[in-house]
Every structure is written in C-alpha cells, then in structure tokens.
Amino acid sequence: MISRQIKKVLATVEYKGWHLERLKEIFAPAELIQISPDDDLGIERELRNVDVCVLKSDLDARFVAANQLKWIHCDHSGVNKSARPEVIARKDLIVTSSAGRAAPALAAHTFFFVLALTYDVPALVEAKKKHEWRKIAGFSDRRGPYGKTLGVIGLGYTGKEVIALGRAFGMRVLGYGRGSEQAKIAGLDQYFDGGAGETIDTLLKESDFVVLSVRLTNETYRLIGSRELALMKPSAYLINMARGNVIDEAALVQALHDGTIAGAGLDVFEQEPLPPNAPIWDAPNTVITHHQTAEMPDLVARSLDIIAENARRYRAGEKLLNQIKAQDVYTH
C-alpha cells in the first residue's frame, strides 16, 4: 500500500460548532476551507488548489474536471447522481458517500410501513374521522407480522437493519444480494445471490412484504415492473426505501388498482417532489411518505465517523468505505 497525503480540503457541508471543529481535526494538518454550496465563484476558485472535497450534495462537472482532485466525499447516502460514466472513467478519483449513517432510522421507517399496512392505518384514520367503531371490512381477518415472510432486496446497511427488525418481529427473512459474503448476514433464513446468477423471483413469490433497499444503478433501474409484481402474492405488500426509479411507477399504479398486490409503502418516487397530479397519490392501499424520515439523534456525528475512518484509510493507502465502483454507474 502507498500512503497518501492530504494538503488542502474544500468543504461545502454546512457544519457548525463542534461538528466543524471535528471535521478540521480529521483533516489536520491539512488546511480546510468551508464555502457555501451556493458560492459558485468561491468553489471555482478553490477547486484549483484542493486535493479533497467534502460536499453537501452530489458532485458536478466542475469537480470531475478538477484534475488535481483525488478524493470527493458526498455527505449523503444515494450517489446515483454522482455515479456517472465520466466519474467512473477517472481512475485517479475516489468518490465516497455517507451511506449507513441513517440505516437504523430507515429500517424503523420500513417497519412503520409494515405495521401501517398490516393494521390498515388509512382505514383506521378514516374510521376515526367518521366516529365509526369496528366497521372496517375484513379487519378481523388480518394477521400481524409474526410468522410472515419478509423479503429484503439489497443487503447493504439499511437491508441489514431491516433483517434484524424482521427477526425481532418473529418473521421468516429472505434476502437478495451479491456475493457469497452476504450469505453470512445474521438473521437470514434464505439467501439469493445475484452474483451467482440467482434471481429475485423466488423471493417475490414467497414474501408477504418485499422491501427494496438497493442502490439505484443501471442494473437496478426499474428492477420491479409488471412481470415482477405479477409474481408477488395478491396479499403481499411492496415497500420502497431505495429510489423511485427502482420501480416502474406506472406498472405499480396499475397493479394496485387491479389488486395484483395488496398495497404499498412508498418513501421515494420517480419524480420528486411528487406532483399533485401523480397517479400514485390515488392508488388504493398505499401509504406515502415524502422522502423524509425521523432522523438519527445526531446524523452529522455519524457522517463524521465515516469521514474520519475514510481519511485514515486514504492516508494509509487502503480501500475507502462506500466507494463508488464501476457497477454503480447510472445513466438514466
């Protein structure tokens, strides 16, 4: 391994107080320049001299063109907007993210959907408005999560937390991922390895709840369409905590209206903000949240832990956490 130095850092994250002080400590003795993400002139000026950037959002063409840049950290989870072909093509540039910082919160959000759909919360809210007692059709036939099958597609940070909660609820847990190492994840009853040519079909057929927690890449774009929805049980629910474009939204709307599946819990959509006239608003048995979750107690502190470990790895010449790879490319 070849050690690497950090000389100057540009930060567009809007950290303050001890968060900012810790960021400076992480990169010391390198100089750290904090600039507003809206200060285009300031960013353009500093990009000529920095070798590392910590960005509030995704990178753009200015950062790709800065040939002296060696590492860019995007301080959020999904990096599909940064995983462009021109970024992947720069073999001398490392791009990382803060994936995992909110995983426990996202898993809790997932089970908000599981429970809301299980107990038909939309119907209960309507019954409360009407002051109606025990008039929800079929409610006495509903059964809780215990003993049901949870299928998790995408076994990264959030997927692992969802698996743990599934086990805590007494569920049978199926997982789909890539690589033999993921088969060892605690809590899995059965694992399907996409890297070995296995598909999501059996998971879709057997699951009562299908949870999407995959990265959005060219490979996972519209992973769930009409064919996949038709494989699911009519009593099953689809939960999307990944990105909107992992699902063919028009196909999902049709499946919900046709009763192909029982319902859906959705936090992400093909277009965001979700337009008022989007058909998914009126889909039956659908719980919608606004790509927004009840966060961790200190999300920035968790980001800083990831940045600190990556700074150590960078200097030591080691592979960084959450590093964009060629298979992460997204061009849609």
Paired residues of 96 in beta bridges: 73, 323
- Please tell me which residue in 14, 44, 181, 272 is annotated as part of the active site: 272
User: Is 291 designated active site?
Assistant: yes
> Do the Cβ atoms of 73 and 93 come closer than 8 Å?
no
Nearest-angstrom CA–CA distance, 128 and 133: 8
- Give the span between the Cα atoms of 119 and 86, in whole angstroms: 47
Is 332 considered catalytic here? Answer: no
In whole angstroms, what is the distance from residue 315 CA to residue 32 CA?
Answer: 16
Please tell me which residue in 4, 178, 291, 315 is annotated as part of the active site.
291
Q: Phi, psi (5° rounding) for residue 114?
A: -55, -45
Which residue(s) pair with 150 in the sheet? 173, 209
Is 215 one of the annotated active-site residues of the chain? no
The catalytic position among 73, 84, 101, 243 is 243
Q: State how far the Cα of 78 lies from the Cα of 272, in Å rounded to an integer.
A: 14
Q: For residues 94 and 321, is the Cβ–Cβ distance under 8 A?
A: no
Give the active site residues.
243, 272, 291
